[in-house]
Chains A and B, each alone.
Chain A
Amino acid sequence: EAQVTQNPRYLITVTGKKLTVTCSQNMNHEYMSWYRQDPGLGLRQIYYSMNVEVTDKGDVPEGYKVSRKEKRNFPLILESPSPNQTSLYFCASSLSFSPYYGYTFGSGTRLTVV
């Protein structure tokens, strides 16, 4: 089944403890991105990747890192999480870096930083 898989689905952590949210797609998509969803602010893009080893900032990149060493994986790294990073996170992928393709989203990761 074609899908975007995120792990974990739920995570509670403490301020300052480094964590990684994994994202993997099995559709051979070139383009991947991360969004966060917050009440009243909607979904906002954190980072995106056009292909292996090519990444760029979205609207809200502060406090996050990403890497794209393989085409299928695009992990989101929080080096020193803070409570304002408590949010619902989504990974998405698309066939290509182009406006002509639809996006597929993962099931989301609900992160709480205390």
Chain B
Amino acid sequence: GIQVEQSPPDLILQEGANSTLRCNFSDSVNNLQWFHQNPWGQLINLFYIPSGTKQNGRLSATTVATERYSLLYISSSQTTDSGVYFCAVGNNAGNMLTFGGGTRLMVKP
């Protein structure tokens, strides 16, 4: 099956700092999503981005499908950005998402 690796596993930032999270995947994909799991456990869909670049406020994401990686950028981080960020890729059959191990982000005030 598809392998999904995220880095770094843990990240501590001071409020206002910028960061880049990386997701590498082992095979070509047609479906890639970024999620934020907040401290209450909820999984929030950030981006559906199988290729190209998207932006939503302070967050943006870029997927280079030919090189099998995706990046999530967080600018001017806030304490509410804390939580775990997951990258998930869909198999070509369309019946399953494979999740990476996540990046645990802590933003300190």
| A contact residues vs B (CB 8 Å cutoff) | 31, 33, 35, 42-43, 45, 48, 50, 56, 58-59, 88, 90, 92, 96-105, 107-108, 110
Contact = CB atoms under 8 A, between A and B. Distances in A.
B52 to A, nearest CB: 14
Interface residues of B, number: 25
Contacts of A33: 95-96
A50 B42 contact: no
Contacts of A31: 94-95
Contacts of A103: 33, 45, 88, 97
A48 B96 contact: yes
15 contacts: A33-B95, A42-B100, A43-B86, A48-B95, A59-B96, A96-B94, A97-B95, A99-B91, A101-B31, A101-B48, A102-B48, A103-B33, A105-B45, A108-B43, A110-B41
Nearest to A94: B94
Given A98-B94, A103-B33, A43 B99 contact: yes
* Residue among B45, B86, B96, B102 with most chain A CB within 10 A: B96
A100 B30 contact: yes
A108 B41 contact: yes
Contact of B31 (A48, A58, A100): A100
Contacts of A108: 41-43
Contacts of B90: 99
Interface of B: 29-31, 33, 35, 41-43, 45, 48, 50, 86, 88, 90-97, 99-102
Counting from the closest, the 6 A-B pairs by CB-CB distance are: A102-B48, A99-B30, A105-B43, A99-B94, A99-B31, A98-B94
Contacts of A96: 94
A27 to B, nearest CB: 12
Nearest to B48: A102
B96 A97 contact: no
A54 to B, nearest CB: 11
